Structure 1
Amino acid sequence: MDPGLLVSDLLDTNAMTALIVCKDGSVKYINKTYLDILGKKEEAVVGKYIGDITPETRTLISLMTGKAIVGYNWSVNGYNMIACSLPLIKNGEIVACFAYSLFLDIWDAKDLVNNLMSELNMYKDEVHHLYSARHDFAEIIGQARNIQDVKFLAQKAALHPSITVLVTGESGTGKELFAHAIHKASSRSRMPFIRVNCAAIPENLLEAELFGYEEGAFTGSRKGGSPGKFELANGGTIFLDEIGEMSLSMQSKLLVFLQEKEFERLGSHHPIRVNVRVIAATNRNLKEMITQQKFREDLYYRLNVLNLDIPPLRERIQDIPLLASYLIPKLNRELNTCVTSMSDEALDIFCKYDWPGNIRELTNVLQRAMILADMENYLTITAKQLVFMKNHNETKDDSSSKTLRSLIRDYEKQILAKVLEETDYNKSKTANILDIDLSSLYKKVKQYGLTPENF
């Protein structure tokens, strides 16, 4: 069969429309099927400017960019088709564009739509899993008045989905838990909840992470660019953790967004407007940072529309038994243990401890105690599994009566023991790490009784 005739028959099929447009935009060829759809004769189309015949045509874009445009919806006079525009290149130059459209039989179209919707829902489920709040107010445990007051205020904040919230408090108090709960209880709950740790992202990348970038905005930027976290959070909530670690230049850019509710991607001059609630959190004293000129005062007042100051655990000691009762079943599932409770003596040790790491530390200590109890087939955590805490408390109580010299000696002994352990008791390595003479190290080892037997 003559290949030329085969191509001719293919272009004249009733199953598709076909068109060739020259570099100047004039129509070189159009098949009969397309003429019938347009309701025109060949002489009214061939040689004419394609933009005058079909103003929405993509062929002109393909001629300009030299890039194929594949699989777009194309409708003419009530006919729905899937179309492609392919640039024709000769000797490295664009000489024409070949465009064709395929008719969609209604049942094929239905299948296509169903397949696309199925795939879209799959991606939506994945995005929802990645960018959704995982905690609610039921997980904020406590009967102390101070935590109840903060929880009540947070629940009120959830009812006002546009106000900015600043969550403050020591490390481990549950600032992120409050952010999750506010989003989940708000009218934004079906939209994304996106967390950004401002301390974990290098300053030179934070702007691109938050606001996105266009292709070619910087070396190594992704082809086609990338949306930022604010864009992804549109309609939902963005949680800016460790806001106190943000540089002054980034603080200025965040301030502009809070004022204008819009931003520009890196490398673009096109503003993008989004509807996002901002919840920020920090364990630093922002007012003190303002006096040190490390945090912008105007940004502070923009963020601090509503302040939730989470109390430390030592200021609500009465909640410790309640927290332990809540955490033990949860940790049993994670650790595959069978611990059911804590003895009164163990709870007394918990209540006398000052918890510098707050609820996060409480959780970690419980995990350790539960593993120790389970290893010995104990169903109840006793003081035996909390010896490490008891020793800490005794050391802390004893230290208040010690002199400065004895405290320094204790600290020196701890450091020496730690480094000796890390070097497997290699004295030469230890001396190099601590930058002291080997002879001095031998004297201190003997002075403090840091022999291998003691290790």
Structure 2
Amino acid sequence: MIDKSKDHHVIEQELKKDQVLASVWDVLVDNPHEGMVVVNKQGYVVLVNRTYRDVVGIKRRRDAIGKHITEITPHTKLPEVIRTRHPILYDFWEVNNHKLIVHRIPIFNGGGEVIGAIGKSLFADTSTRKLLGLKLQQMEKELELYKEEVRKIHSAKYSCDNLIGESKQIKEIKRLAKKVAPSTSTILITGESGTGKEVLAQAIHNASNRKQFSFVRVNCAAVPENLLETELFGYEDGAFTGAKKGGKPGKFELAQGGTIFLDEIGEMPLSMQSKLLTVLQERELERIGGVKTITLDVRVIAATNQNLEKMVKAATFREDLYYRLNVINFKLPSLRERPEDIPLLVHYLTHKLNKKLNSKIEGYTEKAMELLTKYHWPGNVRQLENALERMFCFTEDRVISVEHMPFLENILNDAPKLAKQQTLAEVIGKTEKEVILKILHQVAGNRIKAAELLGIHPSVLYRKIKKYSI
């Protein structure tokens, strides 16, 4: 505390020796543009410039130094800044008919301890206030624009009405989806590729009380292994070389209040599975390089086309994570398991594609619809939509007939052979393994070079090598 018994000249000399004041003394004294005052930890004035004294009506410096700031400025907020350790910026303040814009900033020593505070006031005439007001309005408009763009990016557009079908399986899935939507329980959706796992996830989100918040999708197979942690959990400024200034929030933070959809969860590396498990258990996370714990309010929906139970037995997927995800399970049926839904899907997709392609397809012949219904569609709804789009692009007719789908007719005419065929996933896997083996042989086992030639990230190649036991 300041010793008031000392002569004010002695006090000033002592103050100038202080390491904090020494660095700001020349800037503060005789600055006609800003009024400035510095107080110590107890709130006593240790430095004040002429502009500040003029504002508060004090002629001599000796009448301010050593006094508590509340004696000079009764409504000051500097003691609050010292107590909370947080600055108060751009505050409008009026004193003695002077309109000011005030910054109040805490002063820290090298050890992070608050040792005082600075008050800085800038004169605000009418034109200055108008200019600041216009800038603030513009910033608010830009912020709303950015918020709207984020909402568009992280939004769910599908509802239960987009789960097309009248089969027993689809009706039951719709019923259960509406029933579990209001809860916060974690959901696992399984099913072959193209069965509509993301459509179901979005439908559950839109049927919940979280629908006004974000639906954030993460494809665990598409993000390189070394980037997946930062993608999910974010990072702080300076967390690593090349880190974005100011840091970056992860997908979990972006999904606060809403839903995060972890697609292709079976492709997540084991090293990340343990970290995800911790987040799901604790419902909190820390950004990479950060120390602050962020509490999460996020509904988790995961999806995969793989058999996680087999992966657990093979030790390629954590058993504890599987049970944490598999609280509520939905298994979407393939099209070959619900052929009665195909005509409904065809009509729905026809309307969708007519709008997308500006085409005018009116319907299908009886034989054409029979052919579409008989085909087993290994790629499910996605393959059906792609096949219809190809037909629409190559025909000028209004009605689709068998002549427009020779590829299906040829396959169905060879039905006995079709029964012995491998599934699409098996064929793709076999081909992928052969290509990887061939490229590795060409580059003498150099995996970095092989990944470059294959056009994939090395981490993706490593996972496939492990998957196919190469």
| CA shift digits 1:242-297 (9 cap, x unpaired) | 00111112111111111111011111222111200001000111111111111111
SS of residue matched to 1:182:
helix
1:344 aligned residue: 366
Q: 1:274 aligns with which of 296, 302, 305?
A: 296
Distance 1:353 1:98 in 2: 77
Q: Which amino acid aligns with 2:142?
A: E
> Cα offset for 1:365?
0.5
SS of residue matched to 2:291:
coil
Distance 1:49 1:304 in 2: 63
Q: 1:19 aligns with which of 19, 25, 36?
A: 36
- Does structure 2 retain, via aligned residues, the 8 Å contact 1:169–1:311? yes
- Rate the CA distance shift 1:389–1:57 in 2: closer, same or farther, 3 A: same
Q: Which runs of 5+ in 1 are unaligned?
A: 1-6, 63-68, 88-95, 403-410, 416-431, 434-455
| CA shift digits 1:346-402 (9 cap, x unpaired) | 1111111111000000000010111122xxx21011101100111122345346699
> Cα offset for 1:219?
2.1
Q: 2:156 aligns with which of 133, 137, 143?
A: 133
Q: 2:402 aligns with which of 383, 389, 398?
A: 383
Q: 1:362 aligns with which of 384, 387, 390?
A: 384
SS of residue matched to 1:280:
strand
- Does structure 1 retain, via aligned residues, the 8 Å contact 2:100–2:122? no
- Does structure 2 retain, via aligned residues, the 8 Å contact 1:26–1:46? yes
- Does structure 2 retain, via aligned residues, the 8 Å contact 1:38–1:76? no
> Cα offset for 1:122?
1.5
Q: 2:101 aligns with which of 55, 70, 81?
A: 81
The answer to which of 384-393 and 204-213 deviates more is 384-393
Q: 1:146 aligns with which of 169, 173, 191?
A: 169
Q: Which amino acid aligns with 1:327?
A: L
- Rate the CA distance shift 1:328–1:45 in 2: closer, same or farther, 3 A: farther
1:326 aligned residue: 348
> Cα offset for 1:154?
1.0
- Does structure 2 retain, via aligned residues, the 8 Å contact 1:35–1:42? no
The answer to which of 258-267 and 27-36 deviates more is 27-36
- Rate the CA distance shift 1:237–1:104 in 2: closer, same or farther, 3 A: farther
Q: Which amino acid aligns with 1:72?
A: L
- Does structure 2 retain, via aligned residues, the 8 Å contact 1:135–1:177? yes
1:419 aligned residue: none
1:54 aligned residue: 78
> Cα offset for 1:114?
3.9
> Cα offset for 1:144?
0.3
Distance 2:420 2:62 in 1: 106
Matches within 5 A, 1:398-409: 398=417
1:443 aligned residue: none
2:245 aligned residue: 223
SS of residue matched to 1:72:
strand
Would you say 1:255 and 2:277 are equivalent positions?
yes
| CA shift digits 1:406-442 (9 cap, x unpaired) | xxxxx9xxx9xxxxxxxxxxxxxxxx99xxxxxxxxx
1:392 aligned residue: 411
Distance 2:63 2:328 in 1: 68
- Rate the CA distance shift 1:81–1:146 in 2: closer, same or farther, 3 A: same
- Rate the CA distance shift 1:177–1:80 in 2: closer, same or farther, 3 A: farther
Distance 1:104 1:220 in 2: 43
Distance 2:269 2:57 in 1: 60
- Rate the CA distance shift 1:342–1:102 in 2: closer, same or farther, 3 A: farther
- Rate the CA distance shift 1:323–1:57 in 2: closer, same or farther, 3 A: same
Distance 1:241 1:322 in 2: 27
> Cα offset for 1:48?
8.1
Q: Which amino acid aligns with 1:134?
A: K
- Rate the CA distance shift 1:49–1:82 in 2: closer, same or farther, 3 A: closer
SS of residue matched to 1:238:
strand
SS of residue matched to 1:210:
helix
2:11 aligned residue: none
Kindly report the root-mean-square deviation, in angstroms, between the aligned alpha carbons of the 2 structures. Answer: 3.9
- Does structure 1 retain, via aligned residues, the 8 Å contact 2:312–2:319? yes
2:461 aligned residue: none
Would you say 1:209 and 2:250 are equivalent positions?
no
Q: Which runs of 5+ in 2 are unaligned?
A: 1-26, 71-75, 108-116, 422-426, 432-440, 443-470
- Does structure 2 retain, via aligned residues, the 8 Å contact 1:19–1:99? yes
Q: 2:328 aligns with which of 306, 326, 350?
A: 306
Q: 1:101 aligns with which of 117, 122, 128?
A: 122
Distance 1:34 1:281 in 2: 67
> Cα offset for 1:116?
3.8
- Rate the CA distance shift 1:31–1:332 in 2: closer, same or farther, 3 A: farther
> Cα offset for 1:41?
7.1
- Does structure 2 retain, via aligned residues, the 8 Å contact 1:23–1:97? no
Would you say 1:290 and 2:312 are equivalent positions?
yes
Percent identity reads 43
Q: Which amino acid aligns with 1:254?
A: L
Distance 1:395 1:216 in 2: 62
SS of residue matched to 2:249:
coil
SS of residue matched to 1:134:
coil
Q: Which amino acid aligns with 1:293?
A: A
- Rate the CA distance shift 1:295–1:336 in 2: closer, same or farther, 3 A: same
Q: 1:156 aligns with which of 167, 179, 201?
A: 179
